[in-house]
Amino acid sequence: MYKQMKLKATDGLDLHLHIWDEVKNPVGVVQIVHGMAEHGARYGLFAERLNQAGYIVVADDHRGFGKSAIDEASLGHLDGETGFKNMVEDEVVVRTYLKETYPGLPYFIFAHSMGSFIIRTFMAKHQVDGVILSGSGLQPIALLKMGQMITKQRVKKDDRKRSGFLNKLAFWGYNKPFNENHRFSWLSRDVAIYEAYEQDPFCGPVVGTSGFFHNLFEAVKVSQQKETLESVPKDLPVLLLSGSDDPVGHFGKDTPKIALSLEKAGVEDVTYKIYEDARHELVNEICKETVFQDVIDWLDEKRR
Alpha-carbon gap, residue 241 to 100, rounded angstroms:
29
Please report how many Cα atoms fall inside a 13 Å half-sphere around the Cα of residue 48, on the Cβ side: 8
For 64: left if phi > 0, alpha if psi spans -120 to 50, otherwise beta; the answer is left
pLDDT number for residue 95: 98
Q: What is the DSSP secondary-structure string of 143-194? A: HHHHHHHHHHHHHHHHTT-B-HHHHHHHTTTTTTT-SS--TTTTS-S-HHHH
Q: Which domains does the chain have, with CATH numbers?
A: 2-303 (3.40.50.1820)
Alpha-carbon gap, residue 193 to 179, rounded angstroms:
16
% of residues, the chain, pLDDT over 90: 88
Alpha-carbon gap, residue 15 to 59, rounded angstroms:
10
CA distances from 75 to 102, 189, 273 (A): 31, 27, 33
Kindly tell me if the per-residue pLDDT of 176 is higher than 80.
yes
Summarize pLDDT for 73-89 with one digit per residue, the tens. Answer: 999 999 978 999 999 99
Summarize pLDDT for 222-280 with one digit per residue, the tens. Answer: 999 999 999 999 999 999 999 999 999 999 999 999 999 999 999 999 999 999 999 99
Averaged pLDDT, 97-102: 98
Torsion of CA 215, 216, 221, 227, to 10 degrees: 60
